[in-house]
Amino acid sequence: MPFAQIYMLEGRTEEQKRAVIEKVTQALVDAIDAPQQNVRVWIHELPKENWGIAGQTAKSLGR
């Protein structure tokens, strides 16, 4: 059972997250011939104040 974990900053729409899940699933099906029904995708949404870039939070950088 292929299991993909995606980390990204909060703020994406449900539609965008759905697209990520669909495309990552299809990529695994294509790359390793995994049955689609066996693929799992987990999106971790991180608060912008919990993500650091060059010594600052993503929130303070306006990301």
- What residues are annotated to the active site? 2
Phi, psi of 12 (to 5 degrees): -75, 150
Which of 6, 13, 17, 11 shows the shortest CA–CA distance to 44?
6
Are the C-beta atoms of 41 and 21 separated by less than 8 Å? Answer: yes
